[in-house]
Structure 1
């Protein structure tokens, strides 16, 4: 799914007040981390991930997470990553585009 820049901005605005759903620490983006993110995406379409470690590698780790979870990167602000993944069940979708 491709989002327009207008829709990405809208989702980033919605996510602004969210607390991080997951904090990535010294383990990095391990298989367990990817599984946790996928579990979060079962209930939420829009999540924030905070990086406590690996702050210099946020771009490469973000790309790995995006590819592993089939998500869309909406952006990163400092050490916070904002991701979106549309729920495959249309009845559970919170955001329609």
Structure 2
């Protein structure tokens, strides 16, 4: 799944007003974090994740690893915040950040 530049631009615009839903601390990606990100993506489709990791290389690695595990697409990463997108199988119009 690859996003077109137009889709990325649209998702960045929508993501601008979102707050991070999940915070990843320096201990890495636990199973609970993975499950919470997976649930949040299923509900909201477009989410922000905050990484509180000091090293940039480790942060990039964690973002890539998380995207691979939850099968999400990285839309944008600025500083400690990553914007992730994964289409929902059955989107709920009341929860989805794309349908509101």
TM range (shorter): 0.7 to 0.9
Q: Deviations over 1:9-32 (max 9, x none)?
A: 110111011010111113321222
CA 1:54–1:35: 2 relative to 1, 3 Å: farther
Whether 1:80 aligns to 2:69 is no
1:4-55 deviations in Å (ceiling 9; x for gaps): 0111111011101101011111332122211111111121100001111244
Indicate the SS of the match to 1:88: coil
Distance 1:63 1:44 in 2: 20
RMSD: 1.8
Q: Relative to structure 2, which stretch is displaced further, 74-83 or 51-60?
A: 51-60
Alignment of 1:1-97 (within 5 A): 1-56=1-56, 57-89=58-90, 91-92=91-92, 94=96, 95=98
Contact 1:28 1:54 in 2 (8 A): no
Cα contact 1:55–1:79 (8 A) shared by 2: no
Unaligned 5+ runs, structure 1: none
Which consecutive residues of structure 2, in runs of 5 or more, have no partner in the other structure? none
Count how many residue pairs are aligned between Structure 1 and Structure 2. 95
Q: TM-score, normalising length from structure 1? A: 0.86
